[in-house]
Structure 1
Amino acid sequence: MKTDLIFKILITIASIAYPFTLVFFYEFSKDAVFVMALLWGLQGIFTSDKNKKQTSALLSAFFVLILLANNDTLRYFYPVIINIFMLFVFGLSLKKEAIITKFARLKEPNLPEFVIAYTRNLTKIWIVFFAVNGAISFGLIFLEDKIYWGLYTGAISYVLIAALFVGEYVYRIKLKRQEDV
């Protein structure tokens, strides 16, 4: 468990720094790609979770492919791949129990029906977010000036994620107050 947390923190920091490294410190971009391959690979080795092991192996292989191909454009696809992955994880969860419902059950195992419907709809909102975020990240790859890609994928997209979290939290509090009346 401790190792998983360490890799989660390291990968999060590296993922946030990655776009800025590609745009503002391009001379270190191969180093950034290597670090990402290494972190994802090590997480895959040290985790006991089968799904995390597979995901880590695929992402590590992606970064190794970038290193082997020495292709500048491929370096910019990481945020697109992450958004596609999240879109599929959230989307496939709708076939059974929505992923956000599963998270909610960790706190409260016996959820009322209206909460299940709410968390299912919230999962759909995140799916739309990942689709739009991935599409914007993809489109920005092809602009000549990569600064827009770097700012969007390294900062703006994280601000949008935070805004969605905060907006949902405020809405949920307002909804709870209405139910208590």
Structure 2
Amino acid sequence: MPRLLVLLLALVGVLYPFAVYFGMEHLSPRLFALLLGGLWLVRSLSSLGKPGNRWMSLCALAFCLLLGLLDEPALLRWYPVLVSGLLLALFSLSLRFGPPLVERMARLSEPELPEVAVRYTRRVTQVWALFFLLNGMAVIALALWAPLSWWTLYTGLISYALMGLLFAVEWLVRQRVRRFA
């Protein structure tokens, strides 16, 4: 996938909660559906043949279609739930049908992983799957019961801070594991 598209999708993901917060009263959910759907369609077409691309894109495009047809502002809060669910499925399915996603990424830089590293990457994949499960549950609760400002704060800032913290802790643990391996 072209780097510009990857960057654009990441930027849209980060800015999405703030766009919902500031645009919910002024922009139609159909406009959000059109923009998100267009990005997912481009992502899908530029990533043909990559694992998980087809089903993830179909889920996202189905959500965008539903959002566009219903034109319901409350549905805008459910996009981060969809993303967490897709990532949970991606990590979980890689555990079931292997190799685990983190192992695949590790093998890009180190093709011959020792057995201790393979076990470690499996555990890290499990941790990420658990993170996306808990994150999705938090976003569901916020979408159902919290004010829009709380939902925006969590989905636009806190969840990314938690991901960054998990990345940092995992990196520290990995350095320790490498030292003793």
Under a length normalisation based on structure 1, what TM-score does the superposition of the two structures give?
0.89
Q: Per the alignment, in what secondary structure is the counterpart of residue 28 of structure 1?
A: coil
Give the distance between the partners of 1:150 and 1:21, measured in 2 at CA.
9
Report the CA distance shift for 1:163/1:10 in structure 2 as closer, same or farther (over 3 A).
Answer: same
Task: Choose from 127, 130, 134 the match for 1:128.
Answer: 130
Task: Choose from 14, 22, 25 the match for 2:23.
Answer: 25
Give the distance between the partners of 2:48 and 2:71, measured in 1 at CA.
32
Question: In the alignment, which residue of structure 2 is the partner of 1:13?
Answer: 11
Question: How does 1:85-164 map onto structure 2 within 5 Å?
Answer: 85-95=86-96, 96-164=98-166
Contact 1:45 1:53 in 2 (8 A): no
Give the distance between the partners of 2:42 and 2:180, measured in 1 at CA.
47
Contact 2:56 2:86 in 1 (8 A): no
One-letter code aligned to 1:39: L
Q: Which runs of 5+ in 1 are unaligned?
A: none
Tell which deviates more after alignment, 170-179 or 92-101: 170-179
Tell which deviates more after alignment, 43-52 or 137-146: 43-52
Contact 1:18 1:32 in 2 (8 A): no
Give the distance between the partners of 1:16 and 1:71, measured in 2 at CA.
22
Give the distance between the partners of 2:119 and 2:33, measured in 1 at CA.
41
Q: Which runs of 4+ in 1 moved over 4 A?
A: none
Give the distance between the partners of 1:36 and 1:94, measured in 2 at CA.
29
Contact 1:137 1:153 in 2 (8 A): yes
Report the CA distance shift for 1:87/1:56 in structure 2 as closer, same or farther (over 3 A).
Answer: same
Identity %: 32
Report the CA distance shift for 1:23/1:111 in structure 2 as closer, same or farther (over 3 A).
Answer: same
Cα-Cα RMSD? 1.7
Contact 2:33 2:64 in 1 (8 A): yes
Q: Which runs of 5+ in 2 are unaligned?
A: none
